[in-house]
């Protein structure tokens, strides 16, 4: 039965268990415990980060959708919206680089098209240990191949990104993936369930045992036994997702949907409770109706599975046949597995027998909210005691420059981006390699510039400033393309929040992001937090990664990034403060 070992395996603390008992008015059964464990995991509940994230600026006249939905959206004129978000898939990519990265791409794409937007571009921000350390090459090759394999196959161009190599990330690579889509501003679809009696449909791939407790795994550190967590990594099928994307966009055009959400982390559990919560409704489903690709799956397994390429949707009354017809055209499963209710409960049945019954609010709005202790690390004050006078200048500046250009983080990444299809959909104006990606918007004269940028070392030395610089860099890259930044999304990669030093870094970084976003008038429209990025007690550098989207009124006015004519003047803007840049 449920003892301390079971609790530990579920990533739940004894105090959290007590809260569960209080919320239910009784002890939970194992299925209910599983449901709580994934919904209350750091990855799904943001329990350590919510109090800080609430301080971020999220408003602006151009914001159509701020944090809280599957992705954010900004108005780009002509009745259109740019829908975008960034997400992390760090832990799965360490365990299984190809599939971890591939399913990261798959997941963020679903977050975009579930809002009714056609995805048109991808970016990624990758961080690994030193390139010559053992194991790094395997990670890099696997991650790049996974991103390429998934993105190319589904036909969405990867138009830019960044890659850094730093020992800090050796045991905890960072794979942050960003996706941008275009929707009609008036047709943005929400992940909401409402209308008592409306049918709840499961569409897409069959459910298997892959990825169970993926959310829990992403909410914990690694140790020697981490390789055993392999089955917790999901397996992706980009072809299936392409079909799902086309079918979902087609069904959304019919206006037959009340709401739709992808099944990502915590699969069926997360989508049902979140959709129910947003609609102030309840959802009742029977897991026996869920298409399964393995035999003998228990309700626990079905509710927690993170099998990819699945969506949950609520159809308007009377429109069910239309919905089923469209999915059938694309040879996809579309099965009614339940109904919307008005009691605010998530009720799970198996062949009619009730196997789990939990108030939605307990899983979402009333999930634990922690204000964890923060404390500036002593080591940081020591680090800041640097006397610039002890630094000697290089004897040979030319040699120093070549050494810089040769360092893997600075050197050309062509060997990476030529593996990404960056031209499919014939919108790409700026090819990868320098600064922001730029894609035109067909049917208009406009274009969007997009960039993801982050830093670790700066944040390590000064988390507040480092985070500000990440926002500034992404905004600058977009501005340098000739675009006005409209909105930002953040991916916050940090260590264990239960350590006051790490939590201090996080809190400072969020403050820094807020300050920079306010100064630059670039609101945050959504994002992702990845905590517990540490191995054997050592955390990564605090690494905020920021994605910024900007608008060019005229696609033809994109600003180039190369020296052109001999004799042209080179102008340096800004003030040189004689800094070392954290080198």
Partner 1 sequence: MRFGVVVFPGSNCDEDAYHAAKDVFGQDAEYLWHKDTDLKGADVVILPGGFAHGDYLRTGAMARFSPIMREVAAFADRGGPVLGICNGFQILLEAGLLPGAMLRNRSLKYQCEHVHLRVEQTDTPFTSAARSGQVLRIPIGHGEGNYYAPPETIARLEANRQVVLRYTDPQGRQDDTSNPNGSVHAIASICNERRNVVGMMPHPERACEVLLGGEDGRVIFDSVISALARGSEKPALLEVGRRA
The β-bridge partners of 452 are 547
Choices 103-111, 144-152, 250-258, 289-297; region in contact with partner 1 by CB under 8 A? 144-152
Answer yes or no whether residue 420 interacts with partner 1 by CB under 8 A. yes
Nearer to partner 1, 190 or 422 (CB): 422
Strands 538-539 and 310-315: unpaired
Q: Which H/E stretch holds residue 525?
A: strand 524-530
Answer yes or no whether residue 425 interacts with partner 1 by CB under 8 A. yes
Minimum CB separation from partner 1 for residue 249, in Å?
A: 12
Minimum CB separation from partner 1 for residue 152, in Å?
A: 6
Nearer to partner 1, 410 or 423 (CB): 423
Choices 318-326, 368-376, 414-422, 543-551; region in contact with partner 1 by CB under 8 A? 414-422
For the window 318-357, what string marks contact with partner 1 as x by the rule CB under 8 A?
A: -----------xxx--------------------------
Nearer to partner 1, 45 or 427 (CB): 427
Site for partner 1 in 226-255 (CB under 8 A): 237-240, 242-243
Answer yes or no whether residue 137 interacts with partner 1 by CB under 8 A. no
For the window 193-232, what string marks contact with partner 1 as x by the rule CB under 8 A?
A: ----------------------------------------
Q: What is the dihedral of CA 147, 151, 153, 156, to 10 degrees?
A: -170
The β-bridge partners of 257 are 315
The string of DSSP letters for 367-421 reads S----------HHHHHHT---GGGPPPPS-HHHHHHHHHHSTTTS--HHHHTTS-
Question: Rounded to whole angstroms, how far apart are CA atoms 479 and 476?
Answer: 5
Answer yes or no whether residue 163 interacts with partner 1 by CB under 8 A. no
The β-bridge partners of 489 are 526, 547
Question: Rounded to whole angstroms, how far apart are CA atoms 421 and 255?
Answer: 33
Nearer to partner 1, 142 or 497 (CB): 142
Using CB under 8 A as the binding criterion, the count of chain residues that bind partner 1 stands at 34
Supply the residues annotated as catalytic: 43, 89
Instruction: Give the three-class secondary structure for 311.
Output: strand
Answer yes or no whether residue 426 interacts with partner 1 by CB under 8 A. yes
Cβ(340)–Cβ(281) below 8 Å: yes
Instruction: Please give the DSSP secondary-structure letter assigned to residue 490.
Output: E
Q: How many helices (H) and strands (E) are present in the chain, helices listed first?
A: 20, 21
* Token reading at 313: 């949707």
Minimum CB separation from partner 1 for residue 119, in Å?
A: 11
Minimum CB separation from partner 1 for residue 236, in Å?
A: 11
Sort 503 into a burial class: Cβ within 10 Å, 0-12 / 13-18 / 19+: buried
Site for partner 1 in 515-574 (CB under 8 A): 555-556
Minimum CB separation from partner 1 for residue 459, in Å?
A: 33
Minimum CB separation from partner 1 for residue 443, in Å?
A: 9
Taking Cα atoms as reference points, which of 274, 428, 276 lies closest to residue 345? Answer: 276
Answer yes or no whether residue 17 interacts with partner 1 by CB under 8 A. no
Choices 73-81, 128-136, 150-158, 569-577; region in contact with partner 1 by CB under 8 A? 150-158
Q: Could you give the C-alpha distances from 288 to 196, 298, 353, in angstroms and in order?
A: 22, 9, 10
Site for partner 1 in 430-469 (CB under 8 A): 431, 440, 442
Nearer to partner 1, 428 or 530 (CB): 428
Answer yes or no whether residue 419 interacts with partner 1 by CB under 8 A. yes
Strands 158-165 and 118-128: parallel
Q: Which H/E stretch holds residue 175?
A: strand 174-184
Cβ(506)–Cβ(542) below 8 Å: yes
The site for partner 1 (CB under 8 A) is made up of 145, 148-149, 152-155, 237-240, 242-243, 329-331, 417-429, 431, 440, 442, 555-556
């Amino acid at each position: 039965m449920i003892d301390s070992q079971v609790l530990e395996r579920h990533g739940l603390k004894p105090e959290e268990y007590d809260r569960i008992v209080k919320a239910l008015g009784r002890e939970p059964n194992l299925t209910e415990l599983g449901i709580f464990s994934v919904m209350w995991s750091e990855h799904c509940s943001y329990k350590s980060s919510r109090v800080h994230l609430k301080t971020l600026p999220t408003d602006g006249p151009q914001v159509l959708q701020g944090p809280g939905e599957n992705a954010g959206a900004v108005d780009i004129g002509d009745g259109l919206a740019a829908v975008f978000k960034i997400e992390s898939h760090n832990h799965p990519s360490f365990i299984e680089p190809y599939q971890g990265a591939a399913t990261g791409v798959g997941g963020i794409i679903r977050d975009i098209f579930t809002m009714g937007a056609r995805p048109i571009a991808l970016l990624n921000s990758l961080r690994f240990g030193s390139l010559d350390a053992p194991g790094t090459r395997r990670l890099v090759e696997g991650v790049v191949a996974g991103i390429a394999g998934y993105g190319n196959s589904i036909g969405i161009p990867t138009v830019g990104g960044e890659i850094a190599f730093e020992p800090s990330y050796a045991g905890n690579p960072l794979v942050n993936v960003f996706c941008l889509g275009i929707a009609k501003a008036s047709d943005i679809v929400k992940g909401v369930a409402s209308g008592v009696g409306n049918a709840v449909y499961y569409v897409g791939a069959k459910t298997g045992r892959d990825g169970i407790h993926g959310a829990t795994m992403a909410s914990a550190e690694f140790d020697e036994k981490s390789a055993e967590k392999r089955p917790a990594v999901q397996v992706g099928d980009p072809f299936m997702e392409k079909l799902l994307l086309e079918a979902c966009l087609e069904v959304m055009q019919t206006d037959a949907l009340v709401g739709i959400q992808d099944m990502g982390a915590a699969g069926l559990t997360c989508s049902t409770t979140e959709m129910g919560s947003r609609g102030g409704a309840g959802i009742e489903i029977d897991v026996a109706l869920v298409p399964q690709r393995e035999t003998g799956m228990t309700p626990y397994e079905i509710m927690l599975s993170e099998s990819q390429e699945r969506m949950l949707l609520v159809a308007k009354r009377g429109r069910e046949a239309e919905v089923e017809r469209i999915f059938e055209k694309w040879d996809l499963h579309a099965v009614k597995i339940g109904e919307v209710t008005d009691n605010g409960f998530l009720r799970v049945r198996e062949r009619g027998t009730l196997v789990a019954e939990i108030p939605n609010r307990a899983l979402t709005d009333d999930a634990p909210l922690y204000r964890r202790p923060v404390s500036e690390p002593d080591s940081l004050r020591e680090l800041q005691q640097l006397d610039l006078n002890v630094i000697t200048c290089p004897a040979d500046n030319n040699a120093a420059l070549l050494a810089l250009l040769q360092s893997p983080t600075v050197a050309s990444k062509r060997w990476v981006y030529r593996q990404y299809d960056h031209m499919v959909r014939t919108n790409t104006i700026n090819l990868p390699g320098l600064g922001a990606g730029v894609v035109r918007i067909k049917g208009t004269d406009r274009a969007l510039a997009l960039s993801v940028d982050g830093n670790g070392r700066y944040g390590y030395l000064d988390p507040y400033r480092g985070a500000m610089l990440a926002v500034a860099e992404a905004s600058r890259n977009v501005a340098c393309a000739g675009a006005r930044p409209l909105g930002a999304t953040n991916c916050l990669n940090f260590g264990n929040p239960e350590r006051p030093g790490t939590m201090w870094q996080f809190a400072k970084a969020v403050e820094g992001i807020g300050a920079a976003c306010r100064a630059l008038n670039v609101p945050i429209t959504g994002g992702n937090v990845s905590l517990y990025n540490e191995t054997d007690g050592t955390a990564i550098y605090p690494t905020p990664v920021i994605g910024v989207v900007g608008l060019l009124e005229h696609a033809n006015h994109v600003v180039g990034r190369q020296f052109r004519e001999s004799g042209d003047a080179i102008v340096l803007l800004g003030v040189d403060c004689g800094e070392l840049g954290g080198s």
